[in-house]
Amino acid sequence: MKLTRIRQMRNRTPFRPFQIHLTNGEVLPVQHPEQMALPEDEEEMFVVWTKHDWNLVEAAQVARISVPSKFPKPAA
């Protein structure tokens, strides 16, 4: 997937949480735009923060993006 689409999802106003589905079946929830690092000059990789881990993701690993109707609240 092209990072242009992921940037659009991160930068939309108002922001709406979404999920990044990877080709290995893993799902990365993005509840806030600050959870992502997408350098403007990069087209191959980006970073997603989920709970306690940074995930370095290659654009080719992204199968699809979804916007759930209800997003689970983060554990406190």
The CATH number of residue 10's host domain is 2.30.30
Q: Is residue 31 part of a domain?
A: yes
> Model confidence over 58-74: pLDDT tens digits?
888 999 999 987 755 55
The more confident residue out of 72 and 11 is 11
Residues 7-33 have a mean pLDDT of 92
Mark out the alpha helices in the chain (DSSP H runs): 3-11
Residue with tokens 């509840």: 31
Give me the domain span that covers residue 34.
3-66
Q: Is residue 35 part of a domain?
A: yes
Q: Is residue 38 part of a domain?
A: yes
At residue 76, the pLDDT reads: 47
List C-alpha distances in Å: 70 to 3, 27, 56: 24, 15, 26
Q: Is residue 15 part of a domain?
A: yes
Q: Is residue 76 part of a domain?
A: no
Number of domains the chain contains:
1
At residue 13, the pLDDT reads: 93
Q: Is residue 12 part of a domain?
A: yes
d(CA 39, CA 49): 15
Q: Is residue 73 part of a domain?
A: no
Minimal CA–CA distance to 52: which of 21, 25, 75?
75
